[in-house]
């Protein structure tokens, strides 16, 4: 008899003893015995669950891995093969590579790793350009600095020209261009922007550019007890807006990005140490850029916000190299880093030069490259085609 049946038998015996005692007490008092309805038999579904319930000792001894087929990946894709083998090892309590659930942490970059990176530029770059140059409610109010940044983005979109310091200037311009909005208003603005069509694709809106094979990876990890974090260079609130009502369901607390100040609506110029939030206040964007979460800053923020070293890292650029190196160096657990190479020029706005550079970095560091062209059966799913 297994544990579930033993518990059921014990419960039935206890009920019988209690009922007998109750009837005996009633008889001693000379009262009529109450009419007690018979307990209905257990439903067939319950009986089946009891019969099929594994013994607790057997259940604990089974490997915990839930291995999805990852059917959007080609069977021989190196990342697929390595990751499935990894999952079997680290979820098996008998394995030397076993990782307790509390320590199963994976970090992902966003743009170019989980989500379309260049159409024709980063989501947050195109959002700022729209705000400053096209939004009828704001374009006439934009500052000269915001216009200068938007113009650099336009030139970059059209010519590919790079501008030193644009990452930080963009962060400053986003902070000022949306200053005064509540967090909820900013999210609503992003939701509307997500409804715009993707310029380079048919059948896809701006908010739908998730890489479907990578979503399978996220699902596989979460099913096996992993906490999944996004550690992005994009503004944290913008990343939250991208994920809001999207195909990638992660809680806001597991989204890390670049930051700007948040203040109380009645705070004005008062220091946060000198102001007390009131019942009439609302939290608004403060207009001051704090930090661009790239390169070494990703490593620092992982320890600040997560508090322990992850065991898996997923990225696509040198901006993610520090994160990958941190995860795979001196880790007490078996750890891996995966890097996406945008080598598909037919289904994605790829770049062979960048892909070849990333493949070289992976070879040098022992990281696993992911070929969009060779490893994925689809990128954005059915009905989406590149123009």
How far is Cα 229 from Cα 323, in angstroms, rounded to an integer? 12
The yes-or-no verdict on residue 53 having pLDDT over 90 is no
With a pLDDT cut of 70, the percent of the chain lying above it is 83
Of these ranges, 18-32, 38-52, 208-222, the one predicted with the greatest mean pLDDT is 208-222
The yes-or-no verdict on residue 38 having pLDDT over 50 is no
At residue 322, the pLDDT reads: 98
The yes-or-no verdict on residue 15 having pLDDT over 90 is no
Which one is predicted more confidently, 378 or 62?
378
Cis preceding linkage at 265, omega within 30: no
Question: Position of tokens 């009262």?
Answer: 31
How far is Cα 368 from Cα 221, in angstroms, rounded to an integer? 17
Q: What is the rounded average pLDDT for all residues in the chain?
A: 88
11 — pLDDT class (breaks 50, 70, 90) = very low
Could you report the per-residue pLDDT of 277-310, keeping only the tens digit for each?
Answer: 999 999 999 999 999 999 999 999 999 999 999 9
Cis preceding linkage at 48, omega within 30: no
Tell me the average pLDDT across 178-182: 98
Tokens of 340: 């996406």
The yes-or-no verdict on residue 17 having pLDDT over 50 is no
Question: Position of tokens 């891995």?
Answer: 65
Residues 6+ apart with CB under 8 A from 346: 373, 386
Tokens of 222: 């979460």
**Cβ atoms of residues 123 and 239 within 8 Å:** no
The yes-or-no verdict on residue 74 having pLDDT over 90 is yes
At residue 69, the pLDDT reads: 78
Q: Is 343 exposed, middle or buried (0-12, 13-18, 19+ CB in 10 A)?
A: buried
Tell me the average pLDDT across 106-127: 97
Tell me the average pLDDT across 101-113: 98
The yes-or-no verdict on residue 56 having pLDDT over 90 is no
Tell me the average pLDDT across 31-48: 42
Tell me the average pLDDT across 157-184: 97
Domain ranges of the chain: 3-61, 78-386
Question: Position of tokens 């750890």?
Answer: 335
Tokens of 19: 């009922």
Cα dihedral sign, 152-156-159-164: positive
Tell me the average pLDDT across 175-204: 98
Could you report the per-residue pLDDT of 332-345, keeping only the tens digit for each?
Answer: 999 999 999 999 99
**Cβ atoms of residues 339 and 369 within 8 Å:** yes
| Report field, pTM of the whole predicted structure over 0.75 | yes
First to last CA, the chain: 64
Window from 42-51, 104-113, 201-210, 376-385 with minimum mean pLDDT: 42-51
**Cβ atoms of residues 111 and 122 within 8 Å:** yes
At residue 64, the pLDDT reads: 58
Instruction: Tell me which DSSP letter residue 257 carries.
Output: E
Tell me the average pLDDT across 201-227: 97
Could you report the per-residue pLDDT of 236-289, keeping only the tens digit for each?
Answer: 999 999 999 999 999 999 999 999 999 999 999 999 999 999 999 999 999 999
The yes-or-no verdict on residue 43 having pLDDT over 70 is no
Tokens of 46: 């319950």
Architecture of the structural domain at 78-386:
3-Layer(aba) Sandwich (3.40)
Counted residue by residue, the chain has a size of 387
Give CA separation, 170 vs 65, 129, 149, 151, in Å. Answer: 43, 10, 6, 11
Tokens of 335: 């750890």
At residue 65, the pLDDT reads: 73
How far is Cα 224 from Cα 143, in angstroms, rounded to an integer? 49
């Amino acid at each position: 008899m297994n544990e579930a049946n033993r518990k059921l038998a014990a419960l039935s015996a206890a009920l019988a003893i209690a009922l007998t005692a109750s009837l005996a007490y009633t008889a001693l008092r000379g009262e009529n015995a109450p009419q007690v309805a018979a307990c209905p038999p257990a439903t067939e579904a319950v009986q089946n669950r009891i019969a099929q319930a594994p013994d607790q000792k057997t259940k604990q001894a089974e490997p915990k891995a839930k291995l999805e087929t990852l059917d959007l990946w080609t069977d021989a894709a190196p990342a697929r093969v390595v990751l499935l083998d990894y999952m079997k090892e680290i979820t098996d309590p008998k394995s030397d590579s076993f990782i307790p659930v509390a320590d199963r942490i994976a970090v992902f970059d966003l743009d170019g790793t989980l989500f379309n990176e260049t159409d024709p530029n980063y989501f947050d770059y195109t959002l700022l350009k729209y705000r400053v140059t096209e939004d009828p409610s704001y374009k006439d109010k934009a500052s000269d600095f915001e216009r200068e940044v938007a113009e650099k983005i336009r030139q970059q979109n059209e010519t590919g020209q790079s501008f030193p310091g644009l990452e930080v200037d963009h962060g400053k311009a986003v902070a000022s261009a949306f200053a005064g909005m509540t967090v909820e208003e900013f999210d609503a603005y992003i939701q509307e922007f997500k409804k715009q069509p993707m310029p380079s694709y048919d059948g896809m809106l701006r908010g739908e550019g998730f890489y479907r094979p990578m979503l399978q990876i996220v699902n596989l990890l979460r099913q096996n007890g992993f906490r999944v974090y996004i550690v992005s260079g994009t503004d944290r609130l913008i990343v939250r807006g991208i994920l809001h009502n999207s195909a990638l369901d992660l809680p806001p607390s597991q989204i890390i990005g670049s930051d700007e100040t948040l203040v109380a609506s009645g705070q004005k110029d008062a220091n946060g140490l000198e102001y007390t939030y009131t019942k009439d206040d609302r939290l608004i964007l403060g207009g001051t850029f704090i930090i661009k979460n790239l390169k070494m800053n990703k490593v620092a923020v992982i320890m600040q916000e997560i508090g322990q070293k992850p065991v898996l890292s997923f990225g696509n650029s040198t901006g993610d190299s520090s994160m990958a190196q941190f995860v795979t160096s001196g880790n007490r657990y078996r750890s891996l880093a995966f890097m996406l190479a945008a080598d598909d020029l037919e289904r994605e706005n790829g770049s062979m030069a960048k892909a070849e550079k990333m493949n070289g970095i992976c070879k040098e560091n022992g990281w696993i490259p992911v070929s969009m062209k060779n490893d994925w059966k689809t990128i954005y799913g059915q009905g989406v085609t590149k123009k």
